[in-house]
């Protein structure tokens, strides 16, 4: 056979193989109608129109494996559904450690970082909407902090410093403790409040269990802080425990007055 013709034939075969390798399966998102693709759907109708799996698919961008001919793979939406199922939904993904997510085949460091960053961005955006408003009730405070505290594996304690009109001046994370108990440094709370010339303080923390019922340790912390505030001329407006679905307010329940009268 003529060498030139043999070379030409080989080139054609290789080109055909290359085109065949690039052939995507019918399940590839690019083969879907445009109005069904998560990214295009988001741009056309807004993020609120997307299901959780579609939102996660937009973050992931690509699925698991490939769609080369004869090679199994999952598109981003199917992969997202698998991840959501494995971790029990968005809250479960939020609660999961980076190591847990990284153990999922197909979730490399970049994708895990993107997921965690997107979740944190959403929390801060939700909380930020209320920062300029006065904390007029325990419901207002709980609504402000729930996005930041929900799904935490440990107790996180935050002190809110307010002026005389109950408008927040500053928020300070005091401590993040073990899954069963957070150590609250009353002295630090007082120092932070005096530093910003606050008139009042609201203490907020979560329970990893999602149950907002106060513990004996919560009662002791409230008593100690109440007495410390009284000594320096500050007002402890409330100690609020934020649960998954509800909250507990020491002020609403009359516990602050009860402690003062002990």
Q: Which of 12-16, 29-33, 175-179, 191-195 has the lowest mean pLDDT?
A: 12-16
pLDDT at 179 over 60: no
CA distance 222 to 214: 10
Q: Where are the domains of the chain?
A: 3-124, 133-260
Task: Give the C-alpha distances (Å, rounded to integers) separating 119 from 36, 146, 235.
Answer: 24, 13, 35
Q: Is the predicted pLDDT of residue 165 greater than 70, yes or no?
A: yes
| Higher pLDDT pick, 100 / 152 | 100
Helix, strand and coil percent figures for the chain, each rounded to 5:
50, 15, 35
156 vs 177, higher pLDDT: 156
For residue 23, the model assigns a pLDDT of 34
When pLDDT is averaged across residues 57-64 and rounded to a whole number, the result is 81
**Cα end-to-end span (Å), the chain:** 106
Q: Does 259 have pLDDT greater than 90?
A: yes
Residue 191: the pLDDT is: 92
- The lowest-confidence range among 33-42, 69-78, 226-235 is 69-78
Q: Which residue has the higher pLDDT, 21 or 236?
A: 236
Which segment of 9-23, 33-47, 55-69, 120-134 scores lowest on mean pLDDT?
9-23
The class level of CATH for 133-260 reads alpha beta
Q: What integer pLDDT is reported at residue 178 of this predicted model?
A: 58
Tell me: pLDDT of 131 over 70. Answer: no
Rounded Cα gap, residues 165 and 111, in angstroms = 44
Q: What is the mean pLDDT of residues 45-49?
A: 82
Q: What is the average pLDDT score of the chain? A: 80
- What is d(CA 255, CA 233) in angstroms, rounded to the nearest whole number? 20
What angle is formed at CA 65 by the lines to CA 59 and CA 68, rounded to 5 degrees?
120
């Amino acid at each position: 056979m003529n060498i030139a013709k043999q070379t030409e034939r080989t080139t054609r075969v290789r080109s055909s193989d290359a085109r065949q390798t690039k052939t995507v399966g019918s399940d590839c998102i690019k083969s879907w109608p445009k109005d069904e693709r998560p990214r295009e759907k988001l741009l056309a109708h807004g993020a609120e129109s997307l299901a959780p799996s579609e939102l996660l698919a937009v973050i992931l961008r690509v699925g698991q494996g490939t769609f080369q001919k004869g090679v199994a793979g999952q598109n981003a939406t199917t992969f997202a559904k698998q991840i959501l199922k494995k971790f029990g939904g968005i809250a479960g993904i939020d609660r999961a450690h980076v190591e847990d997510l990284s153990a999922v085949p197909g979730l490399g460091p970049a994708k895990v970082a993107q997921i965690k960053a997107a979740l944190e961005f959403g929390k801060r955006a939700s909380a930020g909407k209320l920062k300029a408003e006065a904390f007029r009730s325990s419901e207002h405070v709980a609504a402000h902090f729930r996005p930041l505290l929900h799904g935490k594996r440990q107790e996180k304690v935050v002190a809110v410093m307010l002026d005389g009109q109950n408008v927040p001046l500053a928020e300070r994370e005091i401590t993040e403790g073990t899954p069963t108990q957070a150590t609250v440094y009353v002295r630090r709370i007082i120092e932070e409040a005096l530093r910003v010339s606050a008139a009042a303080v609201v203490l907020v923390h979560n329970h990893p269990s999602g149950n907002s019922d106060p513990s004996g340790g919560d009662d002791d912390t409230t008593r100690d802080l109440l007495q410390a505030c009284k000594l320096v001329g500050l007002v402890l407006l409330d100690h609020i425990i934020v649960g998954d679905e509800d909250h507990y307010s020491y002020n609403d329940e009359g516990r602050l007055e009860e402690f003062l009268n002990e």
